[in-house]
Amino acid sequence: MRVVVPISVGGWARLFSRWDILAILLVLGLLVFLGEASRHLFEPLIELEKQPPSLDPRHLPEYAARTTLRMLIAMVLSLIFTFTYATLAAKNKRAERILIPLLDILQSVPILGFISVTVIFFMELAPGRVLGAEFAAIFAIFTSQAWNMAFSFYQSLRTVPTELTEASRCFRLNPWMTFWRVDVPFAMPQLIWNMMMSMSGSWFFVVASEAISVGHTTVTLPGIGSYIALAIDRQDLRAVGWAIGAMLIVILIYDQLLFRPLVAWADRFRFEQEAGVLPPRSWVFNVLRRSRLVDRATRPCGLLWRRSLRANWLTPRPMVKPLPRYRAGWISFVWDAAVLTAIVIALLLLTRFAAQGVTPADFGTTLLLGLATLTRVLVLIAIASVIWVPVGVWVGTRPRVANAVQPVAQFLAAFPANLLFPIFVSVIVAWRLDPNIWLSPLMILGNQWYILFNVIAGAAAIPAEMRAVGDNLHVRGWLWWRRIALPAIFPYYVTGAITASGGSWNASIVAEVASWGNEHLHAAGLGAYIAHETELGDFHRIVLGIATMSLYVVVVNRTFWRPLYHYAERKFRLG
């Protein structure tokens, strides 16, 4: 007869450590989250009309799960876009001439512009299903995340220290190996800070991405964004408070489960390690690192990855014979001519489409409205820079403070401008203030944090030797800022300022139009123009407004921000 001997408590302890148990709980929690957030994806679209969003706070856990899943999927897509698009722009001079101006245009296109053009396309991918609307919402969130991450990664690749580049050549690493062993590790700390910023920034536009209204097409997906839109429409301050609480809880959860582990993991890639400074800590990172079950489960994938990297490890880079000068010049001329021809054709087609439904007066109107929005953007960026550059340097040079500030900054960056509509609208109406001035702070509310996060990343990357030399020579005050701090953070600041500038243009569609109940305020600007035409479904004027906004952003970037960026790249590059 077979006797079954139960495993004792000590036997279970030897079989599963406490780290294994915690890892199992994390995996089970992830599975429950994915199952709860995705169980309605393939339902008929008509079910959304039968069960419209409710302000009952009992629905908030489900709404929060669905919103978070959309944001995480958009984050994965943004990472893929960043590693491909930004790398091609940084490594290929000819591609850079197209990709970087195109990125300037993309970050200037308002989220309503993307939604109005793509919503029908995504709905047709899954006709009659909720999945099609989810595609549209995820793409809209993607457009609020990807551009900042791409700019950050591009800036990092362009400023890889010379000694790292020389080391990769000495070890004869092929391009694939150089990318994963040199470029990505060097860029990772700053990229993670910008991932946090992009994740938080996407909350700013989550209302527009979940409550989609373009002309006669209206789709409302269950989520915190649609909950906020409904609460504002019904003037329910209690529901607004519940939404703020739910956002805070969600941010704290993914900060603990996602970003703090990433920050702790990426600390090993810091170019300069300072003695005596405690590295960032994360209990989730410790669980995943110490669990034997996780190690056994991921070991095959790790072996395959390392083998793929080690392939051709010592194979020298092929010696490419340089082209004769006249041939290289001819190829460059043909390339530039082809690009210019394509741009001219695109502009002609765009002008032809827009001109079919607009008058010459509309062109002048959009140019004047764009000038008003440009003035707001420049003034707000200047004010935000004066405030947040000193704060970012102070936080970035103190790792313990940076760890404490991280979740607070994420929450402030995630705070949608829509939630401040009750305060702004009530104060402006009560005091009879000018909306053209007092609605402007809403434009920079979610984008000022791009400057702060990038400056924190730049200050954290200041070499310890440079700070030690400053201390030994008693460099203080303005001299310290001029010789140490500003040169070190300047490339990072320019990256943040470019993204904040583009994001402010994007945010103008929300900030220049504020509503609370029966009170509707409008500030004269291009954002209000695009929002109004989107509500009417006038695609010709939508295209005209988007094209004008893109024109302003590209001109400002090419005449001011890009020269400043290249100056920072040449003057303050490490190594």
Could you list the mean pLDDT of each consecutive 10-residue stretch along the chain, which spans 575 residues? 48 65 86 82 77 86 92 94 93 83 76 70 81 88 89 86 83 84 88 85 78 67 87 84 88 88 84 61 86 83 72 49 51 61 66 69 89 92 93 86 75 70 77 85 81 85 78 83 86 85 81 76 87 78 83 84 77 56
Beta strands in 263-304 (DSSP E): none
Q: pTM value? A: 0.79
Report which of 282, 452, 473, 444 is spatially closest to residue 373, judged by C-alpha positions.
444
What pLDDT shows up at residue 86? 93
Phi, psi of 40 (to 5 degrees): -105, 10
| 3 state DSSP class of 464 | helix
Q: What is the residue-wise DSSP string for 421-442?
A: HHHHHHHHHHHT--HHHHTTHH
The full 3-state SS of 25-66, as one line of letters, equals HHHHHHHHHHHHHHCCCCCECHHHHHCCCCCCHHHHHHHHHH
Residue extents of the structural domains in the chain: 43-270+357-571, 321-356
| 3 state DSSP class of 268 | helix
Question: What is the rounded end-to-end Cα distance, in angstroms, of the chain?
Answer: 75
What pLDDT shows up at residue 85? 93
Residues 148, 197 contacting (CB under 8 angstroms): yes
Question: Does an H or E element contain 213, and which?
Answer: strand 211-214
DSSP 8-state code for residue 519: E
Q: What is the residue-wise DSSP string for 141-210?
A: HHHTTHHHHHHHHHHHHHT--HHHHHHHHHTT--HHHHIIIIIHHHHHHHHHHHHHHHHHHHHHTHHHHH
Angle at 83 between CA 110 and CA 121, to 5 degrees: 40
| 3 state DSSP class of 211 | strand
Helix axis angle for 60-81 and 146-158, nearest 10°, is: 40
* C-alpha to C-alpha distances, 73 to 259, 349, 408, 481, 510, nearest whole angstrom: 15, 34, 23, 40, 24
Q: In the Cβ-directed half-sphere of 195, how many Cα atoms lie within 13 Å?
A: 28
What pLDDT shows up at residue 408? 77
Distance CA 243, CA 231 (A): 9
Could you tell me the two tokens for 473? 């020579």
Distance CA 179, CA 182 (A): 6
Which residue matches tokens 């790398």? 87
Which residue matches tokens 């700013």? 204
DSSP 8-state code for residue 549: H
What pLDDT shows up at residue 380? 92
Residues 23, 294 contacting (CB under 8 angstroms): yes
| 3 state DSSP class of 272 | coil
User: Which CATH class name applies to 43-270+357-571?
Assistant: mainly alpha
β-pair partners for 217: 214
> Who's near 392: CB < 8 A, 6+ residues apart?
451, 452, 453, 454, 455, 456, 458, 459, 489
Maximum Cα–Cα distance across the chain: 96
DSSP 8-state code for residue 557: I
Distance CA 434, CA 428 (A): 7
- Altogether, the residues listed in the chain come to a count of 575
| 3 state DSSP class of 123 | helix
Question: Does an H or E element contain 515, and which?
Answer: strand 513-516
